[in-house]
Structure 1
Amino acid sequence: MVQFDHVGISVPDLEAAIAWYSKALHLTAAPVFSVPGTDLRGVMLLHQESGYRIELLHRPSARLGPAPRSPIEAAGTHGFGHICLRVDDVDAEFDRLLSAGATVRMAPQAAPRAGARMAFVADPYGNLIELIDRK
């Protein structure tokens, strides 16, 4: 069996990122861990209802990478592009995340798939989060 487990996101401030992701995406944090012999710390965040997980990672020596201004720009760089959350109401979740401190990257609109709706926001560190309904 193969099953998707989690996505890892490198952040510049672990405690602030834990607070934002926990509040904005309704995630519960496990204890913070450290990797012996390195300056790497992290935490696994769990969405209790659906079971998806996001791992936040922090290294003080990490350097800032490209923060795409749109999903099209993100697709122009190989590697991590975005995470996607399936939601019941794209517009409501988009507004809620903006209120929590996310920034607009693509306002809610029809998705390429017939009948679906999508939007993109960025977390406080520029990482893209797609919202989609697949009705």
Structure 2
Amino acid sequence: MAIEQSVRFDHVGISVPDLEKATEWYCATLELTAAPAFAVTGTDLRGIMLLHEASGFRIELLHRPGARPGLTPSSALEAAGTLGFGHMCLCVADVPAMYDHLIAAGCTTRMVPSPSPRAGATVSFVADPWGNLIEVIDRA
């Protein structure tokens, strides 16, 4: 079966320990707009979809009481050593400026802006306040 041309990536889901604080942080830091929160009937799972109006990317934050922390990688290389979700990536025009913005917003450094293995690009990695990896690249 061939994949239809209309297929596109929709969103990434991230489990967080505090839905309200994570919503506030992601909306303020990445200029996202929150849709109404939702709850999955018959479960203790709650969530909220966040939208970047200008580009259309979305992040779904999920919260389930009692969820346990998973991998908190110190680098992209370490994240790639565990099967499953490793990081999300934001494409920007100015990697050093976005890196500085994310650090000022409470992220921690995983890799300072550096030349990417992709010729002509700059890349950096940070971890959000809950340890999730965020790559920033310019794809020049």
State the TM-score, normalized to the length of structure 1. Answer: 0.99
Separation in 1, partners of 2:87, 2:71: 12
Residue-pair matches, total = 135
Aligned partner (choices 109, 116, 121) of residue 116 of structure 1: 121
Aligned partner (choices 78, 93, 101) of residue 98 of structure 2: 93
Show structure 1 runs of 5+ residues with no match.
none
Separation in 2, partners of 1:49, 1:96: 18
Superposition pairs of residues 9-48 of structure 1, within 5 angstroms: 9-48=14-53
Q: C-alpha displacement at 1:66, in angstroms?
A: 1.4
What is the root-mean-square deviation in Å for CA atoms of aligned residues?
A: 0.5
Aligned partner (choices 49, 58, 61) of residue 53 of structure 1: 58
State the TM-score, normalized to the length of structure 2. Answer: 0.95
Separation in 1, partners of 2:120, 2:69: 37
Identity value in percent: 67
Show structure 2 runs of 5+ residues with no match.
1-5
Query: 2:78 matched to 1:73?
Result: yes
